[in-house]
A and B are shown apart, each in its own frame.
Chain A
Amino acid sequence: MESVALESIDLQKLSVRQLNQFLHHEIGTQSLSRVEILNPKGLHNIAVGLDAPIRVDVRGHGGYFLGGMNRQARIVVHGNVGWSVAENMMSGEVRVKGFASQCAGASAHGGLLFIEGSASSRCGISLKGGDIVVGGHVGHMSAFMAQAGHLVVCGDAGAGLGDSLYEAVIYVRGRIHSLGADAREEPMAEEDYATVGQLLNRTGLDYSPRDFKRVASAKTLYHWNVDADQQY
C-alpha cells in the first residue's frame, strides 16, 4: 500500500490564494493525497477548483464557495460553511459536519454534497445533476429550478420547496412547509426507495427510505399556457 502523506496548511500563515495555488499546481507533483487546512476562520473560496483525487480536511468554519467547482477531491469541513458550498461541483464529495448557509450545492453538476446539520434557504438551487443529502432541515426555496440530480432532506423543508422544478427529484423525510409553483408530491416507486437507500448508505445515515416522500415537477410550466394569465 502506498504511504499517505499529510500536509498541514495554516491559513494564519498563508493566504487562501496561496493555498489554492498549492492545491491546483503542487498536487500531482508530490505523492500527497491528504491535506489538512487549519484556521479557516470563515474565509471565502477555500479549496475551490480542485481537480485531483485527494482528501482535504478543513479544521473549522469555512466562508463562501468552499469546495466550489470541485472535481474528484473529497473535502470534509469540521465546522460550518457560509453561502454556496460546493457550488458548481462536477464530481467528488464535499461533507460538512456542521451547518451550511444559503445556496448549498447551487448548480452542482455531479458529486455528492452531504451536510450533517441543516442547510439554509435555496439549498440545491438550479441543481444540474449532483446529489445533495442534508441530515437536518433545509430553508425556503430549496431546489428552486433544479434541473437534474437529487436532494434528500432528512428533516423538514421550508416554504416554496421545489419551485419551478425541472427533472431533479426531492425526497423529504420530515414536514414540508409548502411546495413551490409546479412542485407536487408523488408516490414513491421502488427506484425511489433504491435511490434514497443508496444515498443514505453513502452518507452513513440510518434512516429508512420508507419514511421519505417524493417531490417532483408537475411539468405544467414546461409549456406556455395562454389561459393561465400569468397566474401560477
Chain B
Amino acid sequence: MCGIIGLLIKPESKRDRLGEWVTPMMECMGDRGPDSAGLAVFVPVGDGPLRRFSLFCGQPGFDWQELGQAFQRDTACQGDLSWIENHGRLISSIAPRSLEEWLSREFPSVHLLSTGRSIEVYKDMGHPAEIARRYGFADIAASHCVGHTRMATESAVSPAHAHPFTAGQDFCLVHNGSLSNPWSLRRRLEKRGVDFETDNDTEAACRFLEWRMREGESLEDALKAAFIQLDGFYTLLMATAEKLVLVRDAFACKPAVVAETEDYVAVSSEFRSLAHLPGIRSAELFEPVPEEIYSWSL
C-alpha cells in the first residue's frame, strides 16, 4: 500500500497556497505509506541557460557549504546553492552530465535527484508528516506538484527507493501498486543504453516512459505503449513542467480520486486527504476509470 497525491493550482494568484493545501494531503496519506515520502514541485527558473538541480545527501551533518565552495572552485559555472537538512538546491548553468560527473568524482555520497528548468524533488525516509515538517513543505509556492507516501513491499526502504522517481529533465512519476515485469522491461532498456539507479519496480516504469518521450513520443502515446508493456497493478501520477497526468491499470486495483474546482485539480488515493481543501463540497469529484489517460495542463 502507498499513497499518491497531486495538486495543480489554476489561477496564478493562488499558487502561493500550494504548500499549505498539499501538506495536509501528504500527512493524511501517511496512513497508507509511513516509511518514506517525497514531493516534486515545479517552479520555473526562467528563460536562459539556468537549470534547477535537486541534491540529496544522507550523511548527518553534511557540509553543504563546502560543496558550494568546491563547485565554484572546480567548475567555471555560476551556481546558487541553498540547502535544508539532507536536501540541496543548486541553480546553475552547468550541463547536467558535467554536474553528474563532478558529483560522482568529488562528492560520491551526494545524489542528484532531479534536473530541469522547473522540477525540484524532495524525498527522504521517515513518516510523511515528519518529512513535510523537516523540509518545510507548507511554505512551498508552486503551480503544481506530485507526492508519494510509501509502504515498501518490493524493494528496500531508502531515500533512493522513495518516490517520486525522475528520468531525463522535468519529468517525474509516483506509483501506487506493484509491477510484475520490471526486470524484463529494465533489461530491454539497458540494452538501449538507459541507466538505472535502484532495483525498484517504479523506476522501470519511469525510465520506460522517459525513454519513449526521448524517442519522440508524447507522454500520452508513451502511456498507450505502457498499457501494453507494463504488467502489474498501478495507479501512476506523473508531472512535467506543464501538466499532471494520471492513469490506472486495466483492473483499477489501486485507488484514485480526483477533485476539480475552478481553483485546482487535486488527486489522491483517498478522498479523506482532500476533505480539507477549500471548495471541496462543491468540487467535481470522480474516480478515474481503467486505462484512460487523464491530463491537466497549466
Contacts and interface: CB of A to CB of B under 8 A. Distances in A.
B279 interface: no
Interface of A: 41-44, 60-61, 63-64, 80, 82-83, 99, 101-102, 120-121, 139-141
Interface residues of B, number: 16
Given A41-B272, A82-B255, A101-B287, 10 more contacts: A42-B271, A42-B274, A42-B275, A43-B272, A44-B272, A82-B271, A102-B255, A120-B252, A140-B290, A141-B251
B290 A63 contact: no
**Nearest 5 A-B pairs (CB), nearest first?**
A42-B272, A42-B271, A41-B275, A42-B275, A63-B272
Contacts of A42: 270-275
Interface string B3-28: 00000000000000000000000000
Contacts of A80: 271, 285
Contacts of A121: 251-252, 290
A99 B272 CA distance: 15
Most B-side CB within 10 Å, residue of A44, A83, A121: A121
B289 interface: yes
A63 B287 contact: no
Contacts of B289: 139
A63 B289 CA distance: 19
Interface string B259-285: 000000000001111111000010001
27 contacts: A41-B272, A41-B275, A42-B271, A42-B272, A42-B273, A42-B275, A43-B272, A61-B271, A61-B275, A61-B285, A63-B270, A63-B272, A64-B270, A80-B285, A82-B255, A82-B270, A82-B271, A82-B272, A99-B285, A99-B287, A120-B252, A120-B287, A121-B251, A121-B252, A121-B290, A139-B289, A141-B251
A84 to B, nearest CB: 11
A63 B252 contact: no
Contacts of A41: 272, 275-276
A41 B290 CA distance: 26
Nearest to A141: B251
Nearest to B256: A101
B255 A83 contact: yes
Contact of B252 (A44, A99, A140): A140
A63 B269 CA distance: 11
Interface string B188-214: 000000000000000000000000000
Nearest to B268: A42
A78 B275 CA distance: 15
A125 B289 CA distance: 18
B271 A63 contact: yes
Contacts of A102: 252, 255
Contacts of B255: 82-83, 101-102
Contacts of B273: 42
A61 B285 CA distance: 11
A17 to B, nearest CB: 14
A99 B273 CA distance: 18
Contacts of B252: 102, 120-121, 139-140
B193 to A, nearest CB: 39
Nearest to B286: A99
A66 B287 CA distance: 18
A34 B257 CA distance: 31
A63 B276 CA distance: 14
Contacts of A61: 271, 275, 285
Contacts of A83: 255
A43 B285 CA distance: 16
A141 B251 CA distance: 9
Contacts of B287: 99, 101, 120
A101 B252 CA distance: 11
B103 to A, nearest CB: 43
Nearest to A43: B272
Interface in B9-65: none
Nearest to A39: B275
